[in-house]
Amino acid sequence: MFDGDVRIGKIIKIEGLAIHIEVTDENVANKLILKYGINDYVASINKLIYSILPNGKRIIGRISKIFDKNTFIPEDIFLKSNDSFVIEATLIGVYDDYLMKFDSGINSFPIIGSEVFSIGQKVYHSIVSISAPYNLPIGASYDDNQLEISANPDILFGKHMGIFGNTGTGKSSTVASLIQGLKRRLQDKCGNPVHIKPKIIIFDSNDEYEQAFKGTEFSVRKIKKEELYLPHYHLSFTEYFRFLGASLGVQAPILKKCIKTLREKPGIKNNEIFQFNDLHEEINRWLWNNARKKDKDGNLTKEYDNFKASQWFNWCSTMMNRIQTITDDPRIYNIIENRVGEQSTIEEIVDSNKEIFIIESDFEKDELDIVMFLFSKLVYQWAIENRKTRDVDSLVILFEEAHRYINEQEQEEFKLGTYYIERLAREGRKFGISLIVSSQRPSELTKSIVSQCNSFIVHRITNKLDLEFINRNLSSNYQDLIKFVPGLEKQYAIVFGGAFGYTDIVKIADAAPVPDSEDPKVIKSWVSPEESFIDV
């Protein structure tokens, strides 16, 4: 990148946040198409320029268009002998040389005829730098591959983050790179390395993250599906109603009475723990008991009113079927049923000295809905109950392939998981719970959850609905960047939000090792054994 400021031209038009610059220096006009190293032009798309304001500060703009001025003159352009270029740039903020600080707010504008210059490396570095006690280098600037881009890790990992992009664009590698960077690249404001012991939970639906942390400086615990233990008895009455789909008219009161009866049995600890397997039997007993006939004195007899019994069972059939379905499914039943004397998965995680917890989550959709509901409930309960006394202050949860269980379109059918994840998104930061939401279809995610994300990393996206969704989350003076998203190369991403000093295109730092998420090698897998020696 050019180390000094290069005069480009003068402002000839101001329209809102857009300015037009006529390139007046013939040498600069020639350099518009002359390359000075990788991605290093005097003036090119996405480059930063500045003009001096009347108050002496620099107003910064981002180049969005370059065109031939002669194109708009109604004459034969082939008769024109002189090149005449016009640059369109979007104003993005103001730089104060005295404070050496960039502010994205704009409350004053340049004057027509003001000269425009390219940004020097020193100012560019000040614009993209962050002011925080710690910084985490995440990659290199697209405009200058020698310029390191950093994020504020307290915001990045403390105020929810969204990572989006099509399959194969590098989302998983980005997640791995960011987490690995906590041990390898984290610095204080003086540039000294900082050593930390994080606590991160990864819901791994594609079994790809174990490889990313195997043999690294992280201590890792992989929790298989059959090892998950999320006991049901921590649920409140209203949460049981939601969990078992109990209608408020008839089913909910009966369910509440039966749960109270089970909790009040002799030997039940803290009037709380009971066996889920007993619930169906207890409801069945209650229904038959309420169908008993009465004698003339109003006392219950041993005879049953079959019509009344039929009514009661008919009213409660959907709830009882739901309970029976869960009990009959060993994959879910074994996760939620009480295991005497055993720690729940959440208790194990917070008490463990491990740093990365990878949870297998390739469940069927209805099963995953229950798992997410109970997991999020237990995390939320732990965070509230142990807010002042716990040793672990912050917990980061990565929801990989998040559209599978926090899907806006399927919220009515699969709404259990979304319910508590929404609570974690809204309130979790107060209790030290932060989320990373990773998805290839951001437009399908529940808007109330994504709206809580403070920082975003967006890889290549081509779907129109997803692009519109991303555009709505970009501030107005950066929305021209949405044009770059469909053409981003693998490993490149647009970063924006509270964790970053500046919205920019970044080449994310390499992950080492990378997750097990390589593109399928179809032909190689079909090569016959006798030809397997051929290097394909």
95 and 118 in a single domain? The answer is yes
Give pLDDT tens digits for 431-440: 889 999 999 9
Query: Is the pLDDT assigned to residue 294 strictly greater than 70?
Result: no
Q: How many domains does the chain have?
A: 3
As a three-state string, the secondary structure of 462-525 is CCHHHHHHHHHHCCHHHHHHHHHHHHCCCCEEEEEECCECCCEEEEECCCCCCCCCCCCCHHHH
438 and 516 in a single domain? The answer is yes
Report percent pLDDT > 90 for the chain: 42
pLDDT at 33: 47
pLDDT at 269: 58
Helix, strand, coil percent content, the chain, rounded in steps of 5 = 35, 25, 40
Query: Is the pLDDT assigned to residue 65 strictly greater than 80?
Result: yes
Give pLDDT tens digits for 195-229: 999 999 999 988 899 999 998 999 999 999 889 99
Cα 161 to Cα 182: distance, rounded to the nearest angstrom: 15
263 and 322 in a single domain? The answer is yes
Q: Of 405, 338, 330, whose CA–CA distance to 371 is shortest? A: 405
204 and 223 in a single domain? The answer is yes
Mean pLDDT, to the nearest integer, of 395-414? 78
Within a domain: 93: yes
pLDDT at 511: 94
Task: Give the CA distances from residue 389 to residues 29, 116, 352, 375, 384, in Å, rounded to whole numbers and listed in that order.
Answer: 65, 57, 16, 21, 10
Q: Of 127, 92, 50, 46, whose CA–CA distance to 477 is shortest? A: 92
What count of residues does the chain have? 536
Within a domain: 392: yes
pLDDT at 35: 40
355 and 430 in a single domain? The answer is yes
- Rounded to two decimals, the pTM is 0.86
351 and 258 in a single domain? The answer is no
Query: Is the pLDDT assigned to residue 414 strictly greater than 70?
Result: no
Query: Is the pLDDT assigned to residue 39 strictly greater than 60?
Result: no
Mean pLDDT of the chain: 84
Cα 512 to Cα 177: distance, rounded to the nearest angstrom: 7
> CATH number for the domain including 37?
2.40.10.170
Within a domain: 532: no
Q: How confident is the model at residue 305 (pLDDT cuts 50, 70, 90)?
A: confident
Within a domain: 467: yes
Lowest mean pLDDT among 55-69, 73-87, 89-103: 73-87
pLDDT at 249: 85
pLDDT at 106: 86
Angle at 56 between CA 55 and CA 62, to 5 degrees: 105
Within a domain: 372: yes
Domain boundary residue among 110, 128, 146? 128
Within a domain: 2: no
Within a domain: 493: yes
Mean pLDDT, to the nearest integer, of 504-532? 81
376 and 444 in a single domain? The answer is yes
Q: How confident is the model at residue 383 (pLDDT cuts 50, 70, 90)?
A: confident
Domain boundary residue among 317, 336, 355? 336
70 and 154 in a single domain? The answer is no
Domain boundary residue among 74, 94, 128? 128
> CATH number for the domain including 411?
3.40.50.300
257 and 199 in a single domain? The answer is no
Q: How confident is the model at residue 476 (pLDDT cuts 50, 70, 90)?
A: low
Within a domain: 105: yes
Q: Which residue range forms the structural domain that includes residue 55?
A: 7-128
pLDDT at 121: 80
284 and 316 in a single domain? The answer is yes
Mean pLDDT, to the nearest integer, of 492-497? 93
113 and 196 in a single domain? The answer is no
494 and 512 in a single domain? The answer is yes
